Amino acid sequence: MDYIKKKTNIYTLLLFCLLFLVKIPAYAQTDTTTYHLTIRKEQVNKAGKKVMGMTVNGTIPGPTLKFKEGDYAVIYVKNEMDVETSVHWHGLLLPNFYDGVPYLTTPPIKPGETRKYEFPLKQSGTYWYHSHTMLQEQSGVYGSIVIEPRKKKLKYDKELVLVLSDWTNEKPINVLRTLKRGSEWYQIKKGTATPLNKVIARHALGAQLKFWKQRMDGADIADVYYPAFLVNGSQKHEYPNFKPGDRVRLRIINGSSSTSYWMTFGGKTPTLVSADGKNVVPVKRNKTFIAIAETYDFIVTIPKNGQIEFRATTDDGSGSTSAFLGKGPVLAAPDVPKPDKIGMMKKMAKMDMRMGAPSIKYRPRKDEPHKMEKNWGMQMDKPADKMKGNMSHDMKDSMKGMDMFAKYNYDYLKSPVKTTFPKDVPVRNILLNLTGNMHRYIWSMNGIPLSETDKIKIKKGEVTRITLNNLTMMSHPMHLHGHFFRVLNKNGDYSPLKHTVNVPPMKKITIEFYNQESGDWFFHCHILYHLTSGMARIFSYGTPRDPRLKGYPVKKLIHETNRYYTWGTADVASNMTGVSLVSSNTRNQFNFDAEYGWNKNMEAEFTYERYLYDYFRVFAGVNMENTDRNSLDNIKTTAVAGVRWFTPYMFDLDLRVDNELRPRISIGRDVMLFPRLSVFGYYEYRLDFGAVNTLPPNKNVEAEKVWNAGAEYMLSKNFSLVASYDNRYGAGGGLSLRF
Ligand SMILES: [Cu+2]
């Protein structure tokens, strides 16, 4: 007994000594690396025009923050702007308080303030930082983070950080407003619109009708038009100082607000060595997808004679940006063909699937993800339904011809070590359907935007397994703060660890992570305009809120996703003039319309409407109209109430009754026939049974019809030419202004 005890003690002592020996050098080398960042509003010219941007230390992107694994990071961020800001350290494992999501984990940085962030660096790899306040990332608040490993495992001579981003000369808030109003302008400008003439020329009218029936215009790849895509802040960048034979590690970061790319490389096939900061089993690979917020590291070798082109081509083929490494003749990167949206629509129309899952629900507090999964998206036949797991989704999809999105899969990513969790750890399954409404530009999960849900509770010591089921026509790059998750793929136990995962249209991806933190962590689509339209959740460990957040309620962050956006149009034509205004948030909308015909006819209306769900709303308001044709002597004001329905095949239907008990039905629709040219039609029918008014003798019902039809040609983002006939105002033509 004594002997054993003594032996144990000696062993313990030995173990301690060993630990000490191992630990000492690590501690001895722990250094503090300090950075000072200043965020400022500045005039910048990134796409042929001087506009107001937001810079970090005077540049876009901001400086590269270089650290060493095991060191301690101290970063001071000074806000020299007149609006509040924040910085999130994307992909870093750090204490919740320093994660940088304003009002959720960290107080915002008020104008003039400096905030200190500090955390130990527990990892190595390529990461980035960006503002997490509204749309500031689009204005330029982003930069790269490089953490060198303690022990260098990869062989290369030099390295180069390449930050990809998208640039707009518009104010980002106006970009979002343009998306909210449902303008086709960005697609027209990008050449990705699919007007009816192109659809018919491709014999895709049947497919188009099937889409319209499900209230969809077609396949969407990207929403925003950008005049420029940037690599390290320029549309084109040259790095001639690399020498032939140099092995260069490219640390590629997609810091774009709403653009994913296909990366291609000139010269010999490069080696992919790392994804989202984590090393992967090296694989020779050229054309590779990089979703928003992902990072990939490639090792390229500079050729003896020539320079390598690295090119990032946008997923929708609307543009590209290139970096050139070395000297001499250019070894061009392979071209990436522009995706064929009409072809995609034709293929999708052949599949058995239900599109148009709503972005908001009649009863948002009733979360029914499984019902939603069953009713929308790919309709599985019964035997296939019994198969479970990720592999079976892929099998089912390919059986249904879904391989059109197979190009986005992550099977080439394999972790060099097993990433599985201990078997005895409890697993909690969560199903999140990714949902959205293109017309209203509202994005959500399970038909519930962030503003209509509670935090998702997770427990320390458990595994959270999330099935992301994309019910929309777009890819969504989903990002989890403060954790790495396994992306289940064909590599099984060696599935890669990531912080951002792209979920392709109508596809399912399963991720899982070990719950080892505390506090609240954001989980959201990294398309900036989807995040700010509600596609987000908060995972909460249920631990007490950090007292330093007192006075910074989380509802402020949530409110950012449920703001009112206001837009309008004004028409001046030879037959009439009019103005219309809309102010809308997720559930509520105010409409004002006024029309005046030069022949002395008029109508004005104000209504408030409430969306019960995407396609159905109730409304009430006031209507004013002249009662005698071509005379303004008698103007009648009535109270109106009714319902509005966005029908299959995308008609706007309005059913109402006024305070004189006169029922009215109206229907309207517009269609883009050619690029820029749309036609529209409207028909309204009202009956008066004489419940309040006295009808002419011998009549027991009086009917009134209003109709109009016309064409609109978009001259620019804000102006259109309009020609129309209205049975009250007659025929005419003029100009329409959008504001
Ligand atoms: Cu999204």
- pLDDT at residue 22 in the model: 47
- Mapping DSSP to helix (H, G, I), strand (E, B) and coil, where does residue 210 land? helix
For the chain, the distance separating the N- and C-terminal CA atoms, rounded to the nearest angstrom, is 88
The rounded distance, in Å, linking the Cα atoms of 217 and 236 is 34
Q: How many helices (H) and strands (E) does the chain have?
A: 12, 45
CB atoms within 10 A of CB 529: 22
Handedness of CA 51, 54, 57, 61 (dihedral sign): negative
Distance 265 CA to ligand 1 centre (A): 28
- Residue 58 gets the label, from left (phi > 0), alpha (psi -120 to 50) or beta, of left
Cα angle value 432/212/364 (rounded, 5°)? 30
Q: Which of 375, 383, 411 is nearest to 399 (CA)?
A: 383
The predicted model gives 659-665 an average pLDDT of: 96
pLDDT at 20 over 80: no
DSSP state of 720: E
Distance 526 CA to ligand 1 centre (A): 6
The rounded distance, in Å, linking the Cα atoms of 474 and 503 is 9
The predicted model gives 107-116 an average pLDDT of: 98
The rounded distance, in Å, linking the Cα atoms of 554 and 108 is 11
- pLDDT at residue 696 in the model: 87
Q: Helix 341-350 vs helix 205-213: angle between axes, to the nearest 10 degrees?
A: 70
CA distances from 189 to 170, 224, 250, 390, 626 (A): 14, 10, 32, 38, 41
Distance 534 CA to ligand 1 centre (A): 9
Q: What is the pLDDT of residues 571-604, one digit of tens each?
A: 999 999 999 999 999 999 999 999 999 999 999 9
ipTM, 2 decimals?
Answer: 0.81
Torsion of CA 365, 369, 372, 376, to 10 degrees: 140
pLDDT at 3 over 50: no
Q: What band does 529 get if pLDDT is binned at 50, 70 and 90?
A: very high
The rounded distance, in Å, linking the Cα atoms of 426 and 429 is 10
User: Amino acid identity, residue 229?
Assistant: F
CA distances from 151 to 69, 123, 256 (A): 9, 12, 31
The predicted model gives 321-342 an average pLDDT of: 96
Question: What six digits make up the tokens of 428?
Answer: 């909690």
Distance 529 CA to ligand 1 centre (A): 8
- pLDDT at residue 440 in the model: 94
The rounded distance, in Å, linking the Cα atoms of 616 and 644 is 6
- The residues facing 197 across adjacent strands are none
Residue 662: is it exposed, middle or buried by C-beta count within 10 angstroms (0-12/13-18/19+)?
buried
- Mapping DSSP to helix (H, G, I), strand (E, B) and coil, where does residue 529 land? helix
Q: What band does 353 get if pLDDT is binned at 50, 70 and 90?
A: confident
Distance 678 CA to ligand 1 centre (A): 28
pLDDT at 668 over 50: yes
Torsion of CA 200, 203, 204, 205, to 10 degrees: 60
The rounded distance, in Å, linking the Cα atoms of 524 and 536 is 4
H-run or E-run covering 190: helix 185-190
Q: What is the pLDDT of residues 449-464, one digit of tens each?
A: 999 999 999 999 999 9
Distance 719 CA to ligand 1 centre (A): 29
- pLDDT at residue 541 in the model: 98
Which CATH number is correct for 172-223+343-559, 3.90.226.10, 3.65.10.10, 1.10.645.10, 2.60.40.420? 2.60.40.420
Distance 218 CA to ligand 1 centre (A): 17
Bond before 61 cis per omega within 30 degrees: yes
Contact status, residue 579 vs residue 568, Cβ threshold 8 Å: yes
Top CATH class, 228-331? mainly beta
- The residues facing 55 across adjacent strands are 40
- Residue 215 gets the label, from left (phi > 0), alpha (psi -120 to 50) or beta, of left
Q: What is the pLDDT of residues 633-644, one digit of tens each?
A: 999 999 999 999
Distance 484 CA to ligand 1 centre (A): 19
Distance 364 CA to ligand 1 centre (A): 20
Distance 319 CA to ligand 1 centre (A): 20
Question: What six digits make up the tokens of 4?
Answer: 């054993």
Top CATH class, 565-738? mainly beta
Q: What band does 220 get if pLDDT is binned at 50, 70 and 90?
A: confident
Q: Please, what is the average pLDDT of the chain?
A: 92
Cα angle value 224/226/231 (rounded, 5°)? 125
Distance 292 CA to ligand 1 centre (A): 10
Distance 668 CA to ligand 1 centre (A): 30
- pLDDT at residue 380 in the model: 63
DSSP state of 85: B
pLDDT at 562 over 70: yes
Contact status, residue 508 vs residue 470, Cβ threshold 8 Å: yes
Cα angle value 346/347/351 (rounded, 5°)? 115
Strand order in the sheet with 88-90: 65-68, 142-148, 125-130, 88-90
- Mapping DSSP to helix (H, G, I), strand (E, B) and coil, where does residue 556 land? helix
Q: What is the pLDDT of residues 468-509, one digit of tens each?
A: 999 999 999 999 999 999 999 999 999 999 999 999 999 999
pLDDT at 166 over 50: yes
pLDDT at 411 over 80: yes
Distance 715 CA to ligand 1 centre (A): 30
The rounded distance, in Å, linking the Cα atoms of 62 and 253 is 13
User: Amino acid identity, residue 717?
Assistant: K
- pLDDT at residue 4 in the model: 41
Distance 536 CA to ligand 1 centre (A): 9
Distance 677 CA to ligand 1 centre (A): 29
Contact status, residue 377 vs residue 469, Cβ threshold 8 Å: yes
Q: What is the pLDDT of residues 46-99, one digit of tens each?
A: 999 999 999 999 999 999 999 999 999 999 999 999 999 999 999 999 999 999
Instruction: Specify the CATH number of the domain 32-151.
Output: 2.60.40.420
Distance 435 CA to ligand 1 centre (A): 9
Distance 584 CA to ligand 1 centre (A): 20
Q: What band does 12 get if pLDDT is binned at 50, 70 and 90?
A: low
Lowest mean pLDDT among 32-46, 156-170, 372-386, 564-578: 372-386
Distance 476 CA to ligand 1 centre (A): 4
Distance 445 CA to ligand 1 centre (A): 10
Q: Which one has a higher pLDDT value, 561 or 18? A: 561
Residue 155: is it exposed, middle or buried by C-beta count within 10 angstroms (0-12/13-18/19+)?
exposed
Distance 502 CA to ligand 1 centre (A): 9
- pLDDT at residue 355 in the model: 86
Domain ranges of the chain: 1-30, 32-151, 172-223+343-559, 228-331, 565-738
Distance 111 CA to ligand 1 centre (A): 30
Q: What band does 407 get if pLDDT is binned at 50, 70 and 90?
A: very high
Distance 447 CA to ligand 1 centre (A): 13
The predicted model gives 161-176 an average pLDDT of: 98
DSSP state of 59: B
Distance 472 CA to ligand 1 centre (A): 9
Distance 179 CA to ligand 1 centre (A): 13
Distance 443 CA to ligand 1 centre (A): 7
Contact status, residue 448 vs residue 540, Cβ threshold 8 Å: no
Q: What is the 3-state secondary structure (H, E, C) of 95-149?
A: CHHHCCCECCCECCECCCCEEEEEEECCCCEEEEEECCCCCHHHHCCEEEEEEEC
Q: Among the residues of 376-427, which ranges form H helices? A: 382-385, 390-399
- pLDDT at residue 404 in the model: 81
Q: Which of 266, 239, 203 is nearest to 326 (CA)?
A: 239
The rounded distance, in Å, linking the Cα atoms of 523 and 57 is 29
Distance 479 CA to ligand 1 centre (A): 10
- pLDDT at residue 288 in the model: 98
The rounded distance, in Å, linking the Cα atoms of 165 and 149 is 26
Q: What band does 396 get if pLDDT is binned at 50, 70 and 90?
A: low
Contact status, residue 360 vs residue 449, Cβ threshold 8 Å: yes
Distance 449 CA to ligand 1 centre (A): 12
User: Amino acid identity, residue 676?
Assistant: R
Distance 442 CA to ligand 1 centre (A): 10
pLDDT at 7 over 80: no
Distance 522 CA to ligand 1 centre (A): 14
- Mapping DSSP to helix (H, G, I), strand (E, B) and coil, where does residue 177 land? helix
The rounded distance, in Å, linking the Cα atoms of 262 and 287 is 6
pLDDT at 667 over 90: yes
Distance 80 CA to ligand 1 centre (A): 31
pLDDT at 23 over 70: no
H-run or E-run covering 17: helix 2-28
Bond before 172 cis per omega within 30 degrees: no
Q: What band does 693 get if pLDDT is binned at 50, 70 and 90?
A: confident
Distance 277 CA to ligand 1 centre (A): 22
- pLDDT at residue 9 in the model: 55
- pLDDT at residue 581 in the model: 98
Distance 222 CA to ligand 1 centre (A): 10
The rounded distance, in Å, linking the Cα atoms of 138 and 446 is 27
- pLDDT at residue 382 in the model: 41
CA distances from 539 to 166, 260, 417, 457, 676 (A): 29, 26, 27, 6, 44
Are the folds of 228-331 and 565-738 the same? Answer: no
Distance 500 CA to ligand 1 centre (A): 12
**Distance from chain centroid for Cα 17:** 53
Contact status, residue 535 vs residue 525, Cβ threshold 8 Å: yes
Distance 509 CA to ligand 1 centre (A): 14
Distance 285 CA to ligand 1 centre (A): 27
Distance 606 CA to ligand 1 centre (A): 33
The owner of tokens 């950008």 is: 226
- pLDDT at residue 17 in the model: 47
Distance 195 CA to ligand 1 centre (A): 24
Distance 43 CA to ligand 1 centre (A): 30
CA distances from 727 to 313, 474, 682, 707 (A): 50, 41, 11, 6
Contact status, residue 253 vs residue 387, Cβ threshold 8 Å: no
Residue 152 phi/psi, 5° resolution? Answer: -75, 120
Distance 709 CA to ligand 1 centre (A): 36
- The residues facing 602 across adjacent strands are 596
Q: What is the pLDDT of residues 272-299, one digit of tens each?
A: 999 999 999 999 999 999 999 999 999 9
Q: Which of 420, 421, 407 is nearest to 491 (CA)?
A: 420
- Mapping DSSP to helix (H, G, I), strand (E, B) and coil, where does residue 698 land? coil
Distance 380 CA to ligand 1 centre (A): 24
The rounded distance, in Å, linking the Cα atoms of 90 and 291 is 14
The predicted model gives 556-564 an average pLDDT of: 96
